[in-house]
Amino acid sequence: MGKRKRVAVLTTGGDCSGLNSTLFSLIRACEVRNWELVGIMNGTDGFITGENIPLNRETFPYSAINMAGSFIGSVVYKDVCARKEMTWDGSKTTPVYFKLKEGIAKIKADCVVMIGGNGSVSWLHSAPELFAGMQTVYIPKTIDMDVPMTKNTVGFNTAVNQLSLYIDGIAQSARSHRRWFVVKAMGRNSGHLALRGGMAAGADAIILPEIDVQLRDLVSFVKGTGRSFGIIVVAEGSDLKVEEIAAALEGAGFQGRACNADYFQRGGISVASDRLLAAEFATAALDALDRGETMVMVRRDETSEITTVGIDELYDAGITTNDPNVSNMTVTYDVVSEDDPFLKAARGLGVFLG
Ligand code: F6P
């Protein structure tokens, strides 16, 4: 048997359902290998505060495996900086950078498993030296499903379920009051969540950042349905906003109501497919560490196999834009492609796509 590894795990960025399932799977996979698992509290903030806990069957409540949120907490960088009254502009000369470097070294881990979104990828990509002497493996989680080079991310399936449940909850009111509900979905610059959630809930129209649309064409579509009620789902990254769509519908003689599914999409009992993905990703992450890999992401690849890919390769594969949370840093992301099977299905069902 090789050396007993000490593995540090953290959850970073916006939370989602499935993080606890992933932690639970990591606990079990570490147990099998007789590796030590340490949970860094509150994402990257825990490196600065030095707060961490042993993660094992005694400390982790079994009842948490299907719960949303993260048992060890999560943060986005802008919140870390705000709490510490420090700024981080992405440069390597600021107090935050040095405190992180010092804190990470103090953990004395052999390996770091980062469960994060695309902000975490850009961080690993831009500052790998923070983890000098440690192996790093990244498990993608996000309700946006916008991480390049993976066909799934932990939390996405539950978020789709949550969005469809939200729409189910208002659809009867739309019908009984004869209203068009215009529902804002999360997803940042990507329309995956709006597309899948909208389709699952039987939306009439789905507006995505990936497709150009004119407001007048959407209003004409609504008129053409001959119905006084219905559902329009709008991804948050789209040019058209829910309030302006609702107002335009009012102007055209309909009752239009703007709604926001909001943080409800990040909650909810983790659906089984997310828990299973968590199990696959956790096992694959530890296998990658066993093989000596570092700076890699576990992923479901284009053939649906669970494999690893280098952080630099996946960073280069995405579209880069300014990080909304850290000035002077860029993030890489993925969008709905023209050959997405759900676009095809939506067109087949007569869903208006914009
Ligand atoms: O990336 C996940 C996400 O929920 C996005 O869909 C949304 O735009 C953003 O995070 C909201 O972030 P915050 O928690 O900072 O409001």
What residue segments make up the domains of the chain, in order of their start? 6-155+270-317, 159-266+339-348
Residue 78 has pLDDT above 80, yes or no: no
List the one residue out of 260, 107, 109 whose CA is nearest residue 181: 260
Instruction: Specify the pLDDT at position 88.
Output: 64
Choice from 143, 321, 325 to test ligand 1 binding pocket (greatest atom count within 8 A of CB): 143
- Ligand 1 atom closest to the CA of 263, numbered from 1: 4
Instruction: Specify the pLDDT at position 323.
Output: 82
Instruction: Specify the pLDDT at position 273.
Output: 98
pLDDT, tens digit, 9 for 90 and up, residues 258-271? 999 999 999 999 99
Instruction: Specify the pLDDT at position 247.
Output: 98
- Ligand 1 atom closest to the CA of 265, numbered from 1: 4
Instruction: Specify the pLDDT at position 82.
Output: 66
Phi-psi region of 136 (alpha: psi -120 to 50; beta: other; left: phi over 0): beta
Instruction: Specify the pLDDT at position 86.
Output: 62
Give the type of residue at 331. V
Percent of the chain at pLDDT exceeding 70 = 96
Q: What is the average per-residue pLDDT within 122-132?
A: 91
Instruction: Specify the pLDDT at position 89.
Output: 66
Residue 327 has pLDDT above 80, yes or no: no
Q: What's 6-155+270-317's CATH class?
A: alpha beta
Residue 137 has pLDDT above 90, yes or no: yes
Instruction: Specify the pLDDT at position 83.
Output: 67
Q: Tell me if 130 sits within 8 A of 92, measured CB to CB.
A: no
Residue 1 has pLDDT above 60, yes or no: no
Residue 325 has pLDDT above 90, yes or no: no
Residue 184: φ, ψ to 5°: -85, 130
Q: What is the average per-residue pLDDT within 300-323?
A: 95
Number of residues that this document lists for the chain: 354
Residue 340: φ, ψ to 5°: -60, 130
Instruction: Give bridge partners of residue 300 from the DSSP assignment.
Output: 306
Choice from 186, 334, 335 to test ligand 1 binding pocket (greatest atom count within 8 A of CB): 186
- Ligand 1 atom closest to the CA of 118, numbered from 1: 1
How many Cβ atoms sit within 10 Å of the Cβ of residue 156?
Answer: 30
Q: Which residue has the higher pLDDT, 83 or 297?
A: 297
Examine domains 6-155+270-317 and 159-266+339-348 and report if their fold is the same. yes
Rounded distance between C-alpha atoms, residue 66 and residue 192, angstroms: 23
Q: What is the average per-residue pLDDT within 118-128?
A: 89
Compute, in degrees rounded to 10, the torsion defined by CA atoms 36, 40, 43, 47. -120
Q: What is the average per-residue pLDDT within 301-320?
A: 96
- What's the CA-to-centroid distance between 12 and ligand 1, angstroms? 12
Rounded distance between C-alpha atoms, residue 154 and residue 254, angstroms: 39
pLDDT tier, 3 (very low <50, low <70, confident <90, very high otherwise): confident
- Ligand 1 atom closest to the CA of 78, numbered from 1: 15
Residue 174: φ, ψ to 5°: -55, -45
Instruction: Specify the pLDDT at position 95.
Output: 81
> Is domain 159-266+339-348 annotated with CATH 3.40.50.460?
yes
Q: Which residue has the higher pLDDT, 328 or 180?
A: 180
CA 159 to chain centre: 9
What's the chain's average pLDDT? 94
Q: Tell me if 199 sits within 8 A of 351, measured CB to CB.
A: yes
pLDDT, tens digit, 9 for 90 and up, residues 79-103? 666 666 666 666 788 888 888 999 9
pLDDT, tens digit, 9 for 90 and up, residues 182-230? 999 999 999 999 999 999 999 999 999 999 999 999 999 999 999 999 9
Rounded distance between C-alpha atoms, residue 283 and residue 232, angstroms: 39
Q: What is the average per-residue pLDDT within 32-44?
A: 96
pLDDT, tens digit, 9 for 90 and up, residues 6-21? 999 999 999 999 999 9
Choice from 15, 144, 332 to test ligand 1 binding pocket (greatest atom count within 8 A of CB): 144
- What's the CA-to-centroid distance between 224 and ligand 1, angstroms? 34
Residues in the ligand 1 pocket, defined by CB under 6 Å = 14, 76, 117, 142-144, 186-188, 236, 266
3-state secondary structure of 53: strand
Instruction: Specify the pLDDT at position 326.
Output: 75
Phi-psi region of 348 (alpha: psi -120 to 50; beta: other; left: phi over 0): alpha
- What's the CA-to-centroid distance between 17 and ligand 1, angstroms? 13
Place of tokens 């914009």: 354
CA dist list (Å): 4 to 135, 205, 272: 14, 54, 32
- Among all residues, which ones are annotated catalytic? 144
Q: Tell me if 19 sits within 8 A of 301, measured CB to CB.
A: no
3-state secondary structure of 127: coil
Residue 240 has pLDDT above 90, yes or no: yes
Q: What angle in degrees, to the nearest 10, is found between the helix axes of 95-107 and 77-84?
A: 100
Q: Tell me if 157 sits within 8 A of 274, measured CB to CB.
A: yes
- What's the CA-to-centroid distance between 262 and ligand 1, angstroms? 9
List the one residue out of 275, 220, 289, 210 whose CA is nearest residue 249: 220
- What's the CA-to-centroid distance between 187 and ligand 1, angstroms? 7
User: What value, to the nearest 5°, has the Cα angle with vertex 52 and ends 85 and 99?
Assistant: 35
Supply the DSSP symbol for 141.
Answer: B
Instruction: Specify the pLDDT at position 275.
Output: 98
